[in-house]
Amino acid sequence: MEILPEIKNRMTSRSFQNIPIPDETLERILNAGRLAPSAKNRQPWRFIVLTDPEIKEQLKQSAYGDERFSEAPVVIAVCTTNIGYRMPNGELSYPMDLSFAVSFMMIQAEHEKLNSAVITTYQEDEVKNLLTIPYSMKVVMMLLIGKAVENSDKEIRLPMNRVVSFDHW
């Protein structure tokens, strides 16, 4: 049984080509996020899609000049709509819920022969001001999507025997 190529080949893009993404493709990627699971099915997310070069340029300033914000044709600000809910195990649900949604969007993007990058290095207060995000909400991640310029430096992973155990820790 093969690992899905979308999982095996995905890499964080270090640089993007500024080639627009067709509307239908973007819609499928967003729909993949919408279909992700969330605790109690609360779906505490809002995906703000940013394609305007001027806004992306301003985001770049808030992201310490990361060029990928102006290069990538689509930037998605992955925001919360509800940050208070804790799951029965005591953990906050929103970081996990949003991570599932982002994972689904990344996998769909790969399936569409596109690449992606999750970025968390930005000044959130500036981004919130720019995108008129309510004070009580959070911008948890930015998901950049586009065609990578080149993507050859595969990051290595810990071996299976370091991350998996059976029957005990």
CA distance 108 to 12: 14
130 makes contact with ligand FMN (CB under 6 A):
no
DSSP element (H, E) containing 115: strand 115-119
Instruction: Give the residue with the Cβ less far from ligand FMN, 120 or 129.
Output: 120
Question: How many other β-carbons are positioned within 10 Å of the β-carbon of residue 11?
Answer: 15
Q: Does 118 contact ligand FMN by CB under 6 A?
A: yes
Residue with tokens 């990058």: 117
Asked if residue 82 binds ligand FMN (CB under 6 A), the reply is: no
Stretch that binds ligand FMN, among 36-44, 83-91, 113-121, 124-132 (CB under 6 A): 113-121
* From 6, 11, 48, 111, residue interacting with ligand FMN (rule: CB under 6 A): 11
Number of residues counted as binding ligand FMN (CB under 6 A): 7
3-state secondary structure 11-59: CECCCEECCCCCHHHHHHHHHHHHCCCCHHHCCCEEEEEECCHHHHHHH
Does residue 9 belong to the site contacting ligand FMN (CB under 6 A)? no
Q: Which of 9, 31, 120, 123 binds ligand FMN (CB under 6 A)?
A: 120
Give the residues lining the site for ligand FMN (CB under 6 A).
11-12, 118-121, 155
